[in-house]
Amino acid sequence: MAGDTIFARILRGEIPCDEIYSDDRCLAFRDIAPIAPVHLLIIPRKPLESLREADETDVDLLGHLLLVAAKVAKQEELDAWRTVINSGEGAGQTVFHLHLHVIGGRSLDWPPG
């Protein structure tokens, strides 16, 4: 359940984060275990476990999260970056609260993983 995750605890202020952006719909902060020089996380305040749980009522939220991803990437002065959403354990999701990774600051190979 998304309400019991480390991200929910960050949203409740129980665990500090290196915040870089916040609004009424989401929070963005630096990943504590970065895989690139810039590795940011964007989490919605709404407790969705993964993208699989989103529905038509989440269209505006999902669009907002992508726009925030672009905003924080530009804020970090990235001219190229990757935005990743892992959905499910088999895809590499380890925290079951929907989140976007913004990764950049180095060359990123394709295909990933």
pLDDT digits (tens, 9 = 90+) for 74-100: 999 999 999 999 999 999 999 999 999
Q: Are 40 and 101 a contacting pair, CB within 8 Å? A: yes
pLDDT in tens, 56-76: 999 999 999 999 999 999 999
37 within a domain of the structure (yes/no): yes
109 within a domain of the structure (yes/no): no
Out of 39, 64, 99, 101, pick the active-site residue. 99
Count of the separate structural domains present in the chain: 1
Q: What predicted TM-score, i.e. pTM, was given to this entire model?
A: 0.94
113 within a domain of the structure (yes/no): no
Cis peptide before 111, with omega less than 30 degrees from 0? yes
Cα separation, 98 vs 95, whole angstroms: 8
Is 39 designated active site?
no
